[in-house]
Copies of this chain bind each other. A is one copy, B any other.
Amino acid sequence: MQTLDCIMGRQSIRRFRDRPVEREVLDRILEAGMAGPSCINARDWYFVAVTDHEVLVRMADANGVPARCLKHAPLGILVCGDLERAFPPARDYWVIDCSIACQNMVLAARDLGVGSVWLGTWPQMERVKAQRDLLHLPSHLVPHSILAMGYPAGDLDRERPQDFEEDKVLFV
């Protein structure tokens, strides 16, 4: 799929077919997550790729109502920041670096026919703590976002409204 089409046609997919995401597809998605820029190339992220249904259900319960769809997804990827690798003078760049990894994975997945929805975790700290406890992550790994993924049950390519907002741009 052409890049601009992929970006412009993106939509959140919350209903998935009963079909696993193949390991080689998952690996390409993860690889895309690792291909973005990061502050001083710190690569300060860590990925938890979950296909175990029971664990996905518990992750959903730990992440608020909008995460319900994770209970019926074949795959969830929890992206975490790694504070041990973050840029020491300004560690909060990890938030940006993880966001880049997530968006790359959303787009790569779409290119591979896999739909996704982005489930916010950070900065809602009760969710951050709940995911960390559930997955027994060390304290230097900060849960950032969960991507629920799977082959879409609906149509991936239906049109979405144009929403360019001229008044959101200042030209200097």
Bound complex: CA of A28 vs CA of B7, how far in Å? Answer: 11
Q: Nearest Cβ in chain B — how far from A66, in angstroms?
A: 9
Bound complex: CA of A28 vs CA of B2, how far in Å? Answer: 14
Q: Is there an interface contact between B92 and A123, defined as CB atoms closer than 8 Å?
A: yes
Q: Is there an interface contact between B49 and A108, defined as CB atoms closer than 8 Å?
A: no
Q: A107 on the interface (CB 8 Å rule)?
A: yes
Which residues of B are found within 8 Å of A52, using beta-carbon distances?
Answer: 172
Which residues of B are found within 8 Å of A102, using beta-carbon distances?
Answer: 100
Q: A16 on the interface (CB 8 Å rule)?
A: no
Tell me the count of chain A residues lying within 8 A, CB to CB, of chain B.
61
- Of residues A90, A145, A168, which shows the largest number of chain B Cβ atoms within 10 Å of its Cβ? A168
Q: A170 on the interface (CB 8 Å rule)?
A: yes
Q: Per a CB cutoff under 8 Å, which of B30, B51, B103, B170 touches A46?
A: B170
Q: A34 on the interface (CB 8 Å rule)?
A: yes
Question: Do A120 and B6 contact each other (CB < 8 Å), given the known contacts A30-B164, A45-B168, A100-B103?
Answer: no
Q: Is there an interface contact between A37 and B8, defined as CB atoms closer than 8 Å?
A: no
Q: Is there an interface contact between A46 and B168, defined as CB atoms closer than 8 Å?
A: yes
Q: Is there an interface contact between A168 and B104, defined as CB atoms closer than 8 Å?
A: no
Residues of A at the B interface (CB closer than 8 Å) are 1-4, 6-8, 10, 12, 27-28, 30-32, 34-37, 39, 43, 45-52, 55, 89-90, 92-93, 95-96, 99-100, 102-104, 106-108, 110-112, 118, 120, 122-124, 135, 145, 163-165, 168-172
